[in-house]
Structure 1
Amino acid sequence: MTVAERERIRSVATLLKRAERPVRILRSVSWPNEVRERFFATGARELPQVSYAPADPMPTLELVAQARALLRSEGAIDAWLGRQAEAIENSARMLSVLGTPEFFVWSRRLYGAPRDPLLDGTTTSLGLAEQLDGILATLGRVDLGAPAPACHLSWAVAEKMRAAVAEHFGELAPEVVVVDELASNALAGPRAIRLRRTACFTDRDVDQLIHHEAYIHVGTTLNGQQQPDLPILGASHAGTTRTQEGLAVFAELASATLDVDRLARLAARVLAIEMAIDGADFLDVYRFFLARGSEPQQAYESARRVFRGGVLEGGAPFTKDIVYLDGLLRVHNFLRSAVAAGRADCLRLLFCGKLDIDDVPALCELAVAGLCRPPRFLPPWAGDLRFLIAYLSYSAFLNQVDLKRIRAHFETLLASAPRVELPGEA
């Protein structure tokens, strides 16, 4: 790669990083606490009253245009940069139409919709969510060994997270702070991990947050910020969300912190988004979560995730939350396919910054050219690859087995077996 080519790539990556900087999606679609307080003060019987300040997309669009002018029509690297440009432009346009039906058009373009086909061309996020929801519903009468329900308050969770990030990130460890307003229970950035003051965490939530928010979201951001030739790798834009959230949920799986409650929540989010697309309003979705056992405050927060930025009367939700299951499926399949193909060299590359799986070929080229640096921070399960390679190798083999015939055999076997009531089951 020539010196001129290196400089061109650096210039495009820098322009795109500048273009992305003002595009703050989650901040722009957030709701103030007053909306929640007013909702419950009126008996949770009226749609929330929310207003947005649409963003001016032009500064971002102008920088994206400058970056595109430097792109060429061929090659994996230029295709990667082109995808970054498109995602950043689409995000800016989405934020310019907050609170309107057009918001959903851009949201779907960025994140997809529950009925959109996945990589196999037939499976959908909605189908996966419905299947998971059905399986998990059958486990309600089984004692899974969980401790008695408990509420771990945000300040106590913050203390545990501070110790974990200090040990893992050293002098670059982010602050862990408790805040009043947050759309989710927790949100991670390179300088701070924020926990919502009113959130109630379970025993598993604490470890999930460490592996999901800290080791993945903070880790990949810090790794991306240490890419001087490719600053766009430090940008958390919507074009990388599916892979980043999928990687973070896979981290929960690999660290044995993922549980059935977490999977049920991820599935319910997809079901709720589909309800909203089909016309359900905020109150319908709020009641949907209540019916599933959520406390009123949590049901409100779950419904807010669906409608933030969109239309509260239904038909135009924020579809970001479908990416968790879709992303998990993509990341898992990529990892086991890479191992089966003898490309374990690609595994740690996933942590070099904020990226999408489709970016891997370009990043391999950039790594060979010396422009993409190895990640400094890896989650524990990726730092020592022995378990991961063993698990993925077995998983790749299992994928070749005719599971339908095997499942039919064991279903027949179990059909003749009486159900056993174990201690602790209702």
Structure 2
Amino acid sequence: MTKRKTPTPYLENIKALSDELVKAQEPIRILDAIKWSEAIKQDFFKHKCKQQPKISRDDYLQQNKIDFNAQREVFYTIERQVTRKLGQFNTVGKMLKKKCNEYVLVLRMLEACGTPEFSNLSKLLYGSAKDVFHAGDPTIAELGQLMTEALCQIDKSEVVQEDPRTINAERAVEILQKKLSRHFQEADKPLRVIISDGIVSDAAAGADYIKLRQDALFNKRDLNLLEVHEGLVHIGTTLNGKLQPYCTFLSKGPPSSTVTQEGLAVLMEILCLVSFPARLKKLANRIRAIELAEEGATFVEIFNFFQEEGYDEDTAYSFTTRVFRGSLATMGPFTKDLSYTKGFVTVYNFIQLAVKKGKLERIPILFCGKTNLEDIRDLAQLVEEGIVIAPKFLPPQIKDLNAIAAWMCFANFLNCLSTHKIESDYDYLLSS
């Protein structure tokens, strides 16, 4: 792989256009625009969790201050500039225009908050539970069902148990801070772990920080997972994107890159041996909840579903809110939570095929910023040309691909075996 190229007018145009795109997307904060207030939660619990939460379209309009028409025009202008300065068929230009189009679609979705159109646009951006990975393959919902069936068997075992969560947010900050400092010693500025009371999930990653919710409790498995998922992947890809000399747009990502990045993060959890059954159960239940909402289930019905799965009221409310944020309590879902499993399958398949084809050099390119799997071939070309630089911050398993290459070689063969015949031949070994 070549080093970065010496600046030329062409490269300066790429950087200027990339910088404009990064600036243009700054007002768009999807999760902030669709979040629910604490007052909605308090009212829901005040009514014993029996009435639908009181969320309206006006609530979204009041908290969302984007001038949608003006913001759309910004992206249209950038798209026209890309064609004028880079041409119709330029590789970087096509990527920039595709991102402009996607951000326009995001604006349409946010403008439709609290209407049926919101969920429809969400499905265009993140997918639907009824989508298939390839023609004739199972749907995302069926994948979730297969995961659930396997996890139900694991739940019956007394060998695998979930550790109690006794580590408070303050102590978790100290532990995670040490972990991140070790991984990102060469970062331009220290990575931070901070406490926040304004996030829905237990943790969330920013450009150079991880937020932990003030009232959240953790165990060691949780913190190991956060180290990999939020730290090595999400922060790592952000930092690599910020180091790009010309394609600075790789520091930010629209929903299509969210699917790839979340899938990459889940895959790394498994490769680093920090995932666990309760984590997978959560992902499977999120798929099922979105599927139910797509079929017409209401907030209260999905809240009850999560409680039936063993979650306490606060957790069930948090999970259900993730399904309906941006929508109303009796409308379709926000489907972003499909990204984890959808992205995992697509990224895993890509890596497996890259090993089979002897294209291992393509794998680290996933980490050169907020990448989209569909752009990997173009990004590989840009790396070879020195327009995109190879990622600096990589998980150990990606920095040294020997173990993954060996594993995938076996996986390619194992995929050819009949699971039904294996079960028939081996079943007696596991019988009582």
Task: Establish whether TM, by shorter chain, passes 0.5.
Answer: yes
Partner residue, 1:419:
431
Q: Note the 1:97-108 alignment, pairs <5 A.
A: 97-108=112-123
Retained in 2: the 8 A contact 1:19–1:88?
no
Q: Note the C-alpha offset of 1:246.
A: 0.3
Retained in 1: the 8 A contact 2:154–2:160?
no
Q: Note the 1:288-367 alignment, pairs <5 A.
A: 288-314=305-331, 316-367=332-383
Q: CA RMSD in A?
A: 2.0
Partner residue, 1:52:
60
| 1:398 correspondence with 2:410 | no
Equivalent residue for 2:43, pick from 12, 25, 38: 38
Deviates more, 1:342-351 or 1:3-12: 3-12
| 1:89 correspondence with 2:94 | no
Equivalent residue for 1:155, pick from 170, 178, 188: 170
Q: Note the C-alpha offset of 1:254.
A: 0.7
Shift >6 Å, 4+ stretches: none
Identity %: 31
| 1:162-221 alpha-carbon deviations (Å, 9 max, x no partner) | 111111113533321111121211110113211112223233211111100011001100
Distance of aligned partners of 1:15 and 1:379 in 2 relative to their CA distance in 1, 3 Å threshold: same
Partner residue, 2:250:
233
Q: Note the 1:118-197 alignment, pairs <5 A.
A: 118-120=133-135, 122-146=137-161, 148-170=163-185, 171=187, 172-197=189-214
Please report the TM-score for the alignment, with normalisation by the length of structure 2. 0.91
Distance of aligned partners of 1:84 and 1:287 in 2 relative to their CA distance in 1, 3 Å threshold: same
Partner residue, 1:12:
17
Partner residue, 1:423:
none
- Equivalents in 2 of 1:29, 1:389: separation in Å? 41
Distance of aligned partners of 1:339 and 1:416 in 2 relative to their CA distance in 1, 3 Å threshold: closer
Retained in 2: the 8 A contact 1:221–1:236?
no
Retained in 2: the 8 A contact 1:19–1:59?
no
Retained in 2: the 8 A contact 1:32–1:181?
no
Q: Note the C-alpha offset of 1:417.
A: 5.7
Retained in 2: the 8 A contact 1:246–1:329?
yes
Q: Note the C-alpha offset of 1:148.
A: 4.6
Structure 1: which 5+ runs fail to align? 421-426
Retained in 2: the 8 A contact 1:179–1:195?
yes
What is the SS of the residue equivalent to 1:43? coil
Structure 2: which 5+ runs fail to align? none
| 1:69-99 alpha-carbon deviations (Å, 9 max, x no partner) | 1234435433322321222111122111212
Distance of aligned partners of 1:392 and 1:418 in 2 relative to their CA distance in 1, 3 Å threshold: closer
Partner residue, 1:424:
none
Retained in 2: the 8 A contact 1:33–1:181?
no
Q: Note the 1:262-273 alignment, pairs <5 A.
A: 262-273=279-290
What is the SS of the residue equivalent to 1:303? helix
Q: How many residues align?
A: 415
| 1:360-408 alpha-carbon deviations (Å, 9 max, x no partner) | 1111121122111121111122122221222222223333x2x32xx33
- Equivalents in 1 of 2:368, 2:422: separation in Å? 43
Distance of aligned partners of 1:361 and 1:147 in 2 relative to their CA distance in 1, 3 Å threshold: closer
Q: Note the C-alpha offset of 1:30.
A: 1.5
What is the SS of the residue equivalent to 2:161? coil
Q: Note the C-alpha offset of 1:41.
A: 2.3
Partner residue, 1:112:
127
- Equivalents in 2 of 1:191, 1:351: separation in Å? 16
- Equivalents in 1 of 2:105, 2:329: separation in Å? 22
- Equivalents in 2 of 1:23, 1:182: separation in Å? 17
Partner residue, 1:61:
72
Q: Note the C-alpha offset of 1:56.
A: 2.4
Distance of aligned partners of 1:127 and 1:73 in 2 relative to their CA distance in 1, 3 Å threshold: farther
- Equivalents in 2 of 1:313, 1:147: separation in Å? 34
Please report the TM-score for the alignment, with normalisation by the length of structure 1. 0.92
- Equivalents in 2 of 1:379, 1:290: separation in Å? 36
